[in-house]
Structure 1
Amino acid sequence: MITVLVRVTHGPEALAATLSALVPAVAAGLVGDAVILAEKPDDTLATVADAVGATLVVAPKGSWLEGAKAARRDWLLCLDDGDIPQEGWIRVLDRFVALSRPDQGLARMRRQRTGLANALRGLFARSSVRGGDLVHRRVLANEVRARMPVRLAATIERDPVFG
């Protein structure tokens, strides 16, 4: 099982879109819990978190590390609100988690990119953790240095409403 960390920057509607996309993974037994990361306290986000049984954490700039501290599982799927994993992702992540060690602790889902600037950013981006990554808690805590990100055969897209 994994914990999903969701950084909120676009508000409760984008958060709801991402959380609803995770329901099949909960039913399949892949997702065990969720942590919602907000930059400031928000009553609406607190209501959404309570409704879905998630933990709301106030963290500077939606820090993944603060979310990892509240997570119940070692493997963490990092998402930004508005991210929607595409068909087949559950099987791919479940297999990776089952077969990987913490030192292989960073895997990256493919993202559909548009425009030359976005394509170059994806090609030359550093290996720091970003939305769409599956990361081991020990990597986020700098206890283990991750190798180069493993490219997963799973795709993540942004809900077009939230760009």
Structure 2
Amino acid sequence: MDSKEFKKFCKDEFAKRGFRKVKTCYYCQGNGVLCGLYLQHSDFGPEYYVNFYFFIGDFTGKEYPSRYDYDFYGRIAFMSKTSTINGGKTFLGGLIEYNYYTEDELRLYIDKGFEEKISPVLEHGKEEIVLLLKQDKCHANILREEETLNKLKD
């Protein structure tokens, strides 16, 4: 799979879950939470990260925020296909070496990321973010951490 095929695969996977592309991000409004997905290209080779962002609030009919204005963020995890630089075994991380995967292999990780992290938040709202924070599966925006964490209390 090359970069173009990978981006099309992600676009299709995101669209079937209700996300639509606006500029460089894919967005879906949930229960009091907007989710943004962004494909971050690695500077180190033919690799991407699938970043997710949660914005507290209802953005229906409003301009979507940029990914830099997120309240909480995380990454979908993928099992590496190559060994580490020190000859170690493969590992679970955020980096996707897309040219080593088939669509079916990638779909397993995308499905799991949605099942465990994204869909529960869109369906049930910000109380699910609290659970993700406790499990270290997402993080508050460190530039305005106190403000962001206070949004979970309302």
Whether these two folds match at TM > 0.5 is no
Which of the two has higher C-alpha Rg?
Answer: 2
> So what's the TM-score if we normalise by structure 1?
0.31
Q: Which structure would you say has the larger RCO, counting Cα contacts within 8 Å and 6 or more residues apart?
A: 1
